[in-house]
Amino acid sequence: MSQDRRYSFEFFPTKTDAGHEKLLATARQLATYNPDFFSCTYGAGGSTRDRTLNTVLQLESEVKVPAAPHLSCVGDSKDDLRGLLKQYKAAGITRIVALRGDLPSGMGMASGELRHANDLVEFIREETGDHFHIEVAAYPEMHPQARNFEDDLANFVRKANAGADSAITQYFFNADSYFYFVERVRALGVDIPIVPGIMPITNYSKLARFSDACGAEIPRWIRKQLEAYGDDTASIQRFGEQVITEMCERLLQGGAPGLHFYTLNQAEASLAVWNNLKLPR
């Protein structure tokens, strides 16, 4: 879509037929904005494997936007992963988001033959060469399970050096954390594009829950303003739209190579920011 920057949207596979139809309707609405690709998440331990596969194939074939499945190695054997790679390659999929993945409750760390995301990147390269553009995750505010920030930087460098083409960050609300992360990894010799992940603000309680789980910090001033609005959904959404739009403006002005919107299978909040930014269509 853009020679200089790329814009994308992320979905999660649903558990019901009605939810799936709504996802496809949202995808068709977003497709009119000509994003570079859609991505689709992969449940803990591969728990949504079939739904992710089916969603990705429909996005690619019916909605006509390139689709990038998430692929995680926790809980999957090499044969499982090999089979998925073959199916995606046969379907014309050319981009994959390679992750370690989350452990389902009760699953031991020993599950799966590959332990880390860099192992998965290496495996994809060994199996498929350069067929796939491989995205990896980046954590400007540190992965919640990392021992410290320096270790997390080293983990990211390993993923990049294993053969990743670009990265998408966990969402954040402090642009400085993104710029600092990019500065640090550039100093460590990593030059792949690092695209900010953007989470629209529409519901404070859900956002607080997500953020606590994934280690994304909600700055105190944002948290306090959202708390002050209480159940006033319209005010929360107006404030959230302004905050995210201004952050995205700063990110793009500072050289970010695009934006990746975490849609939560909803179009309106992401498109409000897109339209405010006057992004190309």
Where in the sequence numbering do the catalytic residues fall? 10
Cβ-proximal residues to 177 (8 Å cutoff; 6+ apart), any chain = 140, 141, 217
Alpha-carbon distance of 150 to 168, in angstroms, equals 19
Angle between helices 233-253 and 175-187 (to 10 degrees): 30
Say if residues 35 and 68 touch (Cβ distance below 8 Å). no
Say if residues 22 and 59 touch (Cβ distance below 8 Å). no
Say if residues 226 and 201 touch (Cβ distance below 8 Å). yes
Q: List C-alpha distances in Å: 147 to 64, 153, 180, 213, 217.
A: 42, 11, 19, 16, 17
Kind and range of the H or E element at 158?
A: helix 149-161
Alpha-carbon distance of 10 to 98, in angstroms, equals 14
Cβ-proximal residues to 2 (8 Å cutoff; 6+ apart), any chain = 36, 258, 280
Amino acid at 239: F
Say if residues 272 and 281 touch (Cβ distance below 8 Å). no
